[in-house]
Structure 1
Amino acid sequence: MSLLEAIILGIIQGLTEFLPVSSSGHLELGTYILGIEAADNLLFAVIVHAATALSTIVVFRRDILVIIQDLFKFQWNEGTQFAAKVFITLIPIGLVGVFFEDYIDEFFGGQIIFVGSMLLVTAALLSLSYYAGKKEGKITFGKAFIIGIAQTIAVLPGISRSGSTIATALILGVEKERATRFSFLMVLIPILGASLLKTLKYFKDPSIAEGISGVALGAGFLAAFIAGLFACLWMVEIVKKGKLIYFAIYCAIVGLIAISAGFLI
């Protein structure tokens, strides 16, 4: 992978990790267009995912600090309840991530028609959230579990993690700002967990890092981090203003293009 390709894919990862358009789907499309196999480079995947996790931590650093402080009070307070709800969301994604991630990558990776189809699903979900009723509710434990299931479905390339979790929360009647905050903070552990699993795979087989230099890795990390900061802050404002419908239109257009390209090529 060249330096320019690493930067391009880092920007794609950073932007699409938070915007409701599917980072995995766009990485599949990006590597397909560029004609490279970066999606198969586990070390690069670890680096850019770590960058987006870091950008989330920077944006929500105050919220994270408050939650940590509440946890160490050893009381059933707001921070402890929030952490418990996040833990509930980890149950379905943890089971799928541990037992089925390799099968998902094997069966669906590089399938541009499948990616396009799942982008249409993302578009439909975002549209439903836009036309859902009044959203002033809180996140209950039951809602947290349902949001966790939505996050689990997002392991499929083309299903947006942020789009599916935020849209599901809005459909369940959760207030916009609460939905966004919960969605972004709940994905930190799965992202870091997935990065850890891929790091272990790298140590077992260092040859997976062949074809990419340290400079390219650093550039990809920096590009993903900066793009992630921008996208995370932008996404918070987008949800507040109820503009998710525009991303539904975007996902529908890109999905149809991907499906058409898959049949024609």
Structure 2
Amino acid sequence: MSWLQVVVLSIVQGLTEFLPISSSSHLAIVSRVFFSADAGASFTAVSQLGTEAAVVIYFARDIWRILKAWFNGLFVKAHRDNIDYRMGWYVIIGTLPIVVIGLAFKEAIRGDVRNLWVIATAMLVFSAVIAAAEYLGKQTRHMEQLTWKDGLTVGVAQCLALVPGVSRSGSTISAGLFLGLDRPLAARFGFLLGIPAVLASGIFSLPDAFHPVTEGMSASGPQLLVSVVITFVVGYVAIAWLLRFVANHAMYWFVGYRVVLALVVMALLASGVVAAS
């Protein structure tokens, strides 16, 4: 990879990781349109370490409180009647589905589904899901009303994000809205739920990012380090912006953007301007 590719793709990753517009699809689209080659799933996974570090820093107080309550509850029964203790279990339960699915379909995730026709179709189809969640979601349930079933349901929905074009935040926020959670809670819980999965994925993909065994370009150690720093800074700003935005605005803005981008990509593919893979 060239340094220009690293900088551009890292900025794109940081900007789009937390928005319900699919960062992996944006990386694939930008890579092929402007650089005529796919950055690859491994580079995407490693660059996400920066954005996940941003999540950890942004939610540091929440994470510390949850971890403290969870460990206290493990050893002291009286401390288990606590939303932070339960939240720890919800994150664990919600992480299990993507661990199983991610390992089972590892090769397909790194290759087959990164076809731009698949990505554009996923962006278009899932736009309807996000719109439906926004329209049908009652948003009457709050933090203290979360259950382990909510954690599992949102965790299963997170698995959809393994397909580029769906979006991790889009799938988790939509699932939360369908469950009746208020929008800020759905977004916040989705961010917390994504931390273990994305960190594990990034660390697991480090060797392949240096020397891809399937599709994708290789990157040097300094390039990956710079990528992580850029995605951290840009991602931190994106988190703060999105949480303020979803507290006062509907998801339809993102739906409109997804539809337009998907149609543009399909037009470029149909005209032969861009190769699908």
- Common topology (TM > 0.5): yes
Distance 1:201 1:9, change over 3 A: closer
Structure 1, residues 215-246: CA drift from partner, whole Å, max 9, x if none? 43333222211110111111111211133110
Say which is worse superposed, 52-61 or 65-74, in terms of deviation. Answer: 65-74
Partner SS for 2:105: helix
Does 2:130 match 1:123? no
Distance 1:127 1:210, change over 3 A: closer
> Retained in 1: the 8 A contact 2:38–2:217?
no
Alignment length, in residue pairs?
260
Distance 1:93 1:214, change over 3 A: closer
Does 2:181 match 1:174? yes
TM-score by length of 1: 0.91
Given residue 152 of structure 2, which amino acid in structure 1 is its aligned partner? F
Cα RMSD, aligned residues only:
2.0
Given residue 101 of structure 1, which amino acid in structure 2 is its aligned partner? K
Distance 1:78 1:12, change over 3 A: same
Post-superposition offset of 1:176: 2.0
- Aligned-residue sequence identity (percent) comes to 29
Higher RCO, 1 vs 2 (CA within 8 Å, ≥6 residues apart): 1
* Alignment partners' CA distance in 2, 1:193 and 1:91: 12
Given residue 18 of structure 2, which amino acid in structure 1 is its aligned partner? F
Partner SS for 2:253: helix
Distance 1:46 1:164, change over 3 A: closer
Given residue 25 of structure 1, which amino acid in structure 2 is its aligned partner? S
> Retained in 1: the 8 A contact 2:7–2:227?
yes
Post-superposition offset of 1:211: 5.1
Say which is worse superposed, 115-124 or 217-226, in terms of deviation. Answer: 217-226
> Retained in 2: the 8 A contact 1:114–1:259?
no
Distance 1:98 1:212, change over 3 A: closer
Q: Any stretches of 5+ residues in structure 2 without a counterpart?
A: 74-78, 273-277
* Alignment partners' CA distance in 2, 1:264 and 1:26: 20
The within-5 A match list for 1:177-188 is 177-188=184-195
Query: Match for residue 13 of structure 1?
Result: 13
Partner SS for 2:39: helix
The within-5 A match list for 1:1-265 is 1-37=1-37, 39-40=39-40, 42=42, 44-74=43-73, 75-76=79-80, 77-109=82-114, 111-137=115-141, 138-199=145-206, 201=208, 207-208=211-212, 212-265=219-272
* Alignment partners' CA distance in 2, 1:210 and 1:4: 13
Moved over 4 A (4+): none
